[in-house]
Structure formats: structure tokens, C-alpha cells
Structure 1
Amino acid sequence: MRVYTRTGDKGETSLAGGRRVPKDHPRIEVLGALDEAFSCLGLARSLCGVGERAEVVAKVQAVLVEIMSSVAGFATPLRPEERVAEVEGWIDDLEFEQEVAGLLLGRERGFWLFGEDPAGSALQLARALLRRAERELVGASKSEDGLAGLVPLINRLSDLLFVLGLALSVEAWIRRFARVLSSCLIQELVGEVRKEMGCGSLSLEEAMRLIASARRRAEELGVPMVIAVVDGAGFLLAFQRMDGALLVSCDLAVKKAKTAALIRKPTHVVAELVQPGAMLYGFASYEDFCSFGGGLPVERGGKVVGGIGVSGGTVEQDVDVAYFALSSFGG
């Protein structure tokens, strides 16, 4: 089957029913703008990944297919007024996104400089293309029947894309700010820890003893694990990977130990502290940070002198092994 047909070489194309029209026909201009927006939404959806927002974008694409079919003159079950109400419901469901847009728009009206987030930027591009399609549609409806009712629907779809894209851009800015802030805080925290190192830190012998205890418990559970021990400043002291342990656990064990030592809390507790609105929100973006259970601070005389990280089993098993090792430390 050939991709090309040569039927459009003379500047004409077909609408529904085989009606031949020039390629600059008002309906074709509308279809072209809608097609551009549709394609851009495909890019935005791929950048959104998997989740609620990607699903919303997919629903917008599905509506655009119906609109394009209607503009082309095909019989469709599309009822624009019903779809407008449905899209308004989608916007209402985006509670967080609406709050972000409401807060920002309430403070300042004007043009926005987008670019913080690839998906958010793609959505804004799709919105701009939809706005162009809307303008083309207004013009086409003056000479073509059955198009005027589509204007409110496209208008509402572009509103949806604006709100969603703006929220993604704001979230990206928050993440970037949090990374910078977290890096500064971590460096400050490491400095404070180093000042306290006068109270002593783990020795290599103690670190090896912790690893031996952890390994003994892992063997009892029948789970090959990776165990890492760091000193009070988060620097690696000892490391051991049991035969058959998952390779990804090599990195996770070190990060768990470092996080527990620097934050001075078990990593399964830290997981609650990095949720949106919590005390350490933003720390999760720090490169060496890990909030999976299995990391514990090691204390001596009430002072944190190191950390142990265990990875390879379930979260419960990792935590179990870490606590078992800590019970043998006697600090």
C-alpha cells in the first residue's frame, strides 16, 4: 500500500462524502490547526508519563478526534454543549491545579514565561494551537454551517490545558527550588555533624561488627542483602554485598545509611517527613537521599555517630535486619 496518493498535488483535498475543496478552505484551515494541537498533545502526554494527568491529556485528544470528524463533515455523536459540561467537570476535578492557577492569576495578570517543565510547555503550545483553531473556527463558521457550536468546546479545552500546563510548570519550579535548598541544607547539616565529630565516630571494627550482625540476620531470613555503614558525616566506612543480592540494592543501601546518619532519623520515619507540606518536603530530590525503610542512625552516648543501611528484601525485612544489627552494637 502506498502512503502517497497524489490526489492532493493540485492543492485540493477531500472532506466527508468525497467533497473536494481547496487546501486553504476554511474547514481545512480549522482541521490543520486542530491536527497541530492534537499532535502536540501526543508529545505532552508522553512527557507526562503514567498517571492522572496523562489520562486527562488522552481524554482531550479523544475529544479533538470527535471535533475534527465533525469539522470534516462526518456524522458523529458529538453534542458540543454536553461535552462543554463534561470538560468543565474535568477542570473541576483538577483541584490542586486550579488552586495553583487561582493563586497565581489572583496575584498577577499578564503573560507567563513557560519553560520550567517539558510536559507543561508542550501543553501550553497545544493550548496556543487550540486558540488558533478557535479563531479559525470563528471565521469558518461565518460561511460554513454547523461549526459555531464547537467554539465554546474548544475554548474550554484550551482553558483546561492552560490550568494543567501552568500547574506542571509551577511544580517543576518548586522541585528545582527544593533541590537547591536541599543541597544547601544538606551541606550545612554535614558541617554541623562534622563539628560534633569530636564526640567520636564509628570505627572500622564497629562498622564490620554491624555488618556481620546484619548479615547473620539476613541469612536467617534467607534473603541476600546489601549492607552499608557510614560514619557520622555520611562517609562510607564499610560495605558488603551478599551473593545473589539485587544490584540496585548496592546504591540504595549506601543512600539509606547516609540519609539516616545525616537526618538522624530512621529512613522509614523520614518517608513521612518528605511528603508535600511536611517538614522536609523537597529533600527527596537530593541526589544521595533515600526515604525507603532500612536505614537507621547509629548512636553512642545519645549522639549519632554513623548510620547503617540495608537493602535487598521487602521494606519490613530491610528494617528488621537493620534493627537486629543495631541491637548488637550496644552504643
Structure 2
Amino acid sequence: MNLLTPAEHPFAQFVRILGKGKRGARGLTREEAREAMGMLLDGKVEDTQLGAFLMLLRHKEESAEELAGFTEAIRQRLPAPVAQVDLDWPSYAGKKRHLPWYLLAAKALAASGVRIFMHGGGAHTAGRLYTEQLLACLDIPRCQDWQAVTDSLDQHNLVFAYLGDWMAPLQRMIDLRNTLGLRSPIHSLARVINPLAARCGLQSIFHPGYQAVHREASRLLGDHAIVIKGEGGEIEVNPDVACHLYGTRDGEAWDEEWPALSAQRHVKPERLDAEHLLAVWRGEAEDDYARQAILATMALALRGLGLDRDAAFSEAERRWNARHLSS
């Protein structure tokens, strides 16, 4: 008979911190979050611990300190190159009410010389249209390694990379959604990473209250970022409602309220037809909602690159109208 007490798994402490009951549980410090995520990424955690950790975090709701610590662990393990990038553009939500007009905004910005790194985690929810499904249609290169990313940025200014190709352990955590039954905090965390240290990270957080948390995480990391509640969870300004910008630059937080662009709500389309995206891009179709969403999203990005609101909208319209001349 073995009378020795089994040694506790090193990761068990982090599950205990989060799950020790109403009075005993607490959030992770930034340092604890960095250590915990490091173990997750290095494969030093049992699957049962991974599931428990993600769901306890989801139930508690992640803090800015935790997001910052997680991001630091990820960045320490990223073999990403030094590359000139203007905008980090996470795309993880997919669209179900409106077409992804943000893709045309990104294409027009790229045609005008703005260098954009877009990344996403694949189609994970039925009934949504994801960026990955439209890359070929819109002639946006998908890159599977960092060398291809840097080459394509030099050639096209806009590239997309699948999270599983550059941080596979995080993709595995996202893919647990259908096993666990809930989205994990990794969906939110992916928006903070900014793997190529872009001049500005754009983030869309749909659920109220989380925007300020993400802004604070980016501030703690010393990043320049703008966080919004984007349409459908993507980085796309909804012209039918006011848009609040949660920004951070040089360690200081700032806020800005953009009023709705439309006096009344547009009727959402009966179905999402990707051909309509192409028609609007080519100038073969008029769509008031699309034009307002595209221009406002371009203005948001330009606001992140230093223009004030009025100049950003003026420049967005100029660049949109010149999209075919400069591409």
C-alpha cells in the first residue's frame, strides 16, 4: 500500500484561486495570469484543468490585469518578426445581421497605403459569416507563416492569418467552445494580443462593460488601442446607433462619443449575399447602410492612426472614392 500523499499538480493552485467558493475565490494577479497562461501554452496542464480554468474565468469574468498577464505570456512565446504594421485588426466574431462591411473598409484603407494585419479563429458558430470564408472572394491573401505575412504586407498592405497557424494552443482553447458549451475568455483575449506590435490595435467587444476592461488591459501593456462595441462583435461601426470609443495612448485613457449617422434604423437584409459586397466594392450597387458603415469604420481606423474625428471622416471618404485609383 502506498501511504505517500500524491503531489499536487503545479497548475492546481490557479484553479483553486478562481474556484475556492464565494468567500475564498479571487482573481489572478497579473503575474499569476502570466504564469498560468505560460503553463497552458507550454502544454503543462491536464485537459480537466484546462476546462475548469476556462469556465471558472468565464463565470468570474476576466479582469484587465488577467488579460494583460495572459498577453505577456503569449508575446513571450511568439516567434513573430519585426514588421511595420499600422493596424492590428482581430476578426473573431462573424456576422449574422449585416454583411461584413468592415472588410471593404480594410481593403480601401490598404489600397491607400495603410498596412493591416487581420487575424481570426475560424468559423465556430452556425449561421454566421466569417472573414475566412470571404478571403478568396475579396482577394485578401491568407498567410500561413510569418515570412508570408511580411511578404504579403509589402505587396498588398492587407493580410489575414488564422490563429491556429501562429498560436495553435490558443486556437485549441477556442475550439473547445462546442465541447464546453460556452465561449471562453480566449475569444476576448485574442483581440488584445497585437502580435506584430501595430501602431494601433482595434478591438470590438460586444458585451457591455467589457470595453473598458479591454482598454485598461491595453493601457497596462503600453499599447495604443481603440475598443468599441462593433456591429455583430466585429470591428465595424454601426451607423444606426451611437458609437463610444474607448481609447488609450501613451499610458492615458480617453473616451469619445460618435453620434449615429442615420436618423432611423436601416432594415436588415433578408439574407447575406457575398456578391453584394463585391458589387458595392466595384461601384455597381448603391447601399446607404453599407456606405455609412464603411466610411465610419475607415474613420475609426484613421482616428486610431492620429486624425481627429472630422479629419478622419473626410479622409475616409476621399480614400473610399479613390479606392480603385490607388489599388
TM-score w.r.t. length of structure 1: 0.20
TM-score w.r.t. length of structure 2: 0.20
Q: Find the structure with the greater CA-based Rg.
A: 1
Taking CA–CA contacts closer than 8 Å with sequence separation of 6 or more, which of the two structures ends up with the larger relative contact order?
2
